[in-house]
Amino acid sequence: MAYAFFYGLFTGLVLSLMLGPVFFCLVQNSIVNGFKSGISIAAGVIISDIILIVVSYYSANLFPAGGNTEMMVRIGGAMLLLVMGIGNVSKKKNVLFPEVSSKNPLLLGSKGFMLNILNPANYISWLAVAASITNVLYFSNTDRWIFYVGALGSIFGMELLISYGASWIKKFISAVFLRRLDIVLGIVFIVFSMLLIKPLIVGK
């Protein structure tokens, strides 16, 4: 159980470092409207993540148990991580902080919810995670949900930290910083893709 929880914490941390529209929205709103606005956005993100987790969890269960399932999940997951890694290393991300137009907690929560749930990369990531912990790591039902608690806790905690330190963080957000972060994350994804496929090449 402890392994599942800490593995979830690490997974949530990695997912939190994928700086997308939610990150920029969180930073800008927190600076203009304060820490509480960041909490509202983070809450919306977590609610959408819960929905994505539930959908991806039952989607992953459609994969048949046994047989070549582990091999297919490992190959599919490795290819996904490799594509994400190469994409991160090769792309250039623009610094786009949106205009802030509302202080209403419900509207801010809805914005975080929509920005997160409408990003197809989030569903693909959660589906890959669900397939991996089900058909590769063979987590029990209890361990899976402990894993998700750890992942969601890590994501929510990171978003609160980002919101709290928004003014300080924004000083360092530049095209160069984002480029370097993308390269680091890209290398992490590529390394994990190799680790995922390694047992199929050299044996467990």
Residue 37: which pLDDT band, with cuts at 50, 70 and 90?
Answer: confident
- Average confidence score pLDDT of the chain: 79
Q: What is the pLDDT of residues 143-171, one digit of tens each?
A: 998 999 999 999 999 999 988 887 777 77
Do 98 and 25 meet the contact criterion of CB atoms below 8 Å apart? yes
Number of domains in the chain: 1
DSSP type of residue 27: H
Report the pLDDT value the prediction gives residue 34, as an integer from 0 to 100: 81
In a domain, 204, yes or no: no
**Spatial distance between the Cα atoms of 118 and 183, rounded to a whole number of angstroms:** 25
Looking at the predicted structure, is the pLDDT value of residue 204 above 70?
Answer: no
The reply to whether 194 falls in a domain is yes
Q: Residue 122 — pLDDT band, cuts 50, 70, 90?
A: confident
pLDDT of residue 15: 83
Q: Is 136 helix (H, G, I), strand (E, B) or coil?
A: coil
The domain of 47 spans 2-199
Q: What angle do CA 83, 89, 93 make, to 5 degrees?
A: 105
- How far apart are the C-alpha atoms of 39 and 203, rounded to whole Å? 46
In a domain, 82, yes or no: yes
Percent of the chain with pLDDT over 90: 17
Evaluate whether residue 124 is within a structural domain: yes
Q: Among candidates 97, 115, 129, which has minimal Cα distance to 46?
A: 115
Residue of 29 and 97 predicted with greater confidence: 29
Asked if residue 22 is part of any domain, the answer here is yes
Answer whether 114's CB lies under 8 Å from 25's CB: no
In a domain, 107, yes or no: yes
Torsion, Cα 139 184 73 133, to 10 degrees, reads 10
**Tokens 């905690």 identify what position?**
157
Average pLDDT over residues 113-123: 84
- Residue 94 pLDDT class (50, 70, 90 cuts): low
**Rounded Cα–Cα distance for residues 28 and 133 (Å):** 35
Residue 65, pLDDT > 60, answer no
DSSP 94: -
Average pLDDT over residues 186-201: 75
Contact partners, residue 11, CB within 8 Å, separation at least 6:
129, 147, 150, 151, 154
What is the structure's pLDDT at 147? 95
pTM for this model (two decimals) = 0.74
Structure-block tokens of residue 59: 């989607």
Looking at the domain assignment, is residue 92 inside a domain?
A: yes
Q: ∠ CA(133), CA(73), CA(134), 5° rounding?
A: 20
